[in-house]
Structure 1
Amino acid sequence: MKLKEIAEILSLKPLTPAEGPDLEREVSGAYVGDLLSDVMANSEDGNIWITLQTHVNIVAVATLKNLSAIVIVNGRMPESDTLDRAVSEDIPILLTGKSAFETAGKLYRILNARNLQG
């Protein structure tokens, strides 16, 4: 499923500019976590990373793991240097006011339904 479709269904707000990272990339699943070492050890290529972290190091982890996007929860705004780095590394950052639990649950239902259809 495309990141753009997921963003529309979940009402995720892209924080990186439209001319920035590509929202047409495929999403293979998701990983929820706030401990960077855990995400590095357990996330998979193409995952969306759901987190409350906002500092610049999240972009480095997403780049290292080839993640499709970072979704920041609870309406937390990332630091400006985080957004700058995300654009330069081609990592979309999206925002939701929802909790990680609710975001992950909805995303799981969407991706699971798509897999059952497909």
Structure 2
Amino acid sequence: MTVRELLEKNIFKLVNEGENTGREISVPYCCDLLSIAMGKAPSGAAWVTVMANINTLAVAALTEVACIILAEGVLPDEQTVNKAKEQGITLLAAEEPVFETSLQVYNLLNA
């Protein structure tokens, strides 16, 4: 499944559509510690987190995740949204907890 196909499911709220929507999503990845995510987030992952700040975008760019999904109803501030636009990072939001959000992505990938 590509990022574009995930967007078309309309499951999550679109915060920013990045430049990489043709990218394949490899797995969901859950982590709220940026230092851990920096070393372990798989390239191509749909990263599910509650960390909605500019540093999350830096880690996403470094690890080359396919997109970020903010869980638990968390939304980024304006500075973070503007940086996501500048860096072309796809940013989504979900009301569900991290596990349930990740499970939704997992189920879509394995349907």
Q: TM (normalized to structure 1)?
A: 0.85
When residues 10 and 87 of structure 1 are mapped into structure 2, their CA distance, relative to the original with a 3 A threshold, is same
Name 2:81's counterpart in structure 1: 83
- Answer yes or no: is the 8 Å Cα contact 2:20–2:66 preserved in 1: no
Hey, what's the Cα distance between the residues in 2 that align with 1:104 and 1:75? Answer: 14
Q: What's the RMSD between the two structures over aligned residues?
A: 1.5
Name 2:2's counterpart in structure 1: 2
State percent identity of aligned pairs. Answer: 32
Deviation at 1:10, TM superposition (A): 5.9
When residues 21 and 75 of structure 1 are mapped into structure 2, their CA distance, relative to the original with a 3 A threshold, is farther
SS at match of 1:71: strand
Hey, what's the Cα distance between the residues in 1 that align with 2:38 and 2:45? Answer: 12
Counterpart AA for 1:15: V
Hey, what's the Cα distance between the residues in 1 that align with 2:106 and 2:61? Answer: 23
- Answer yes or no: is the 8 Å Cα contact 2:70–2:92 preserved in 1: yes
Q: Which has the larger radius of gyration?
A: 1
Name 1:116's counterpart in structure 2: none
- Answer yes or no: is the 8 Å Cα contact 1:10–1:106 preserved in 2: no
Which blocks of at least 5 consecutive residues in structure 2 are unaligned?
none
Which blocks of at least 5 consecutive residues in structure 1 are unaligned?
114-118
Hey, what's the Cα distance between the residues in 2 that align with 1:35 and 1:97? Answer: 20
Q: TM (normalized to structure 2)?
A: 0.90
Deviation at 1:112, TM superposition (A): 2.1
Counterpart AA for 1:74: E
- How many equivalent pairs are there? 111
Q: Are 1:11 and 2:11 matched, yes or no? A: yes
